[in-house]
Amino acid sequence: DGGITQSPKYLFRKEGQNVTLSCEQNLNHDAMYWYRQDPGQGLRLIYYSQIVNDFQKGDIAEGYSVSREKKESFPLTVTSAQKNPPAFYLCASSIPRYSGNTIYFGEGSWLTVV
């Protein structure tokens, strides 16, 4: 089945460690995105990529890095994770020139830093 796969679903790390969240899509979408959602908050854009080997910072890019070496993959690394309430990380993808850039989400990954 076509879709967006995020892994792992739940992740625990110690403060100061790096952590990488995986995102793979088989929808043949050109654009991919990472959003973060904190408890009771809306979605904030971390990074987005319109094409392979190119990406742009979103509103909260500090402390994160990404790569886009393949169309299907857009991993997110949290560098030196800080202790905070668990955050929900959402990967998404779209065909930017189709349906007004409708994006579709993976199932999300919960990151807890202890």
Partner 1 sequence: QKEVEQNSGPLSVPEGAIASLNCTYSDRGSQSFFWYRQYSGKSPELIMFIYSNGDKEDGRFTAQLNKASQYVSLLIRDSQPSDSATYLCAVNMFVVGNTGKLIFGQGTTLQVKP
- Which stretches of the chain bind partner 1, using CB under 8 A? 31, 33, 35, 40-45, 48, 50, 56, 58, 90, 94, 96-97, 99-108
CB of 47 to partner 1, least distance (A): 10
**Nearest CB to partner 1, comparing residues 44 and 80:** 44
Residue 38 phi/psi, 5° resolution?
Answer: -95, 160
**Nearest CB to partner 1, comparing residues 17 and 26:** 26
The burial class, CB within 10 Å (0-12 / 13-18 / 19+), for 71 is: middle
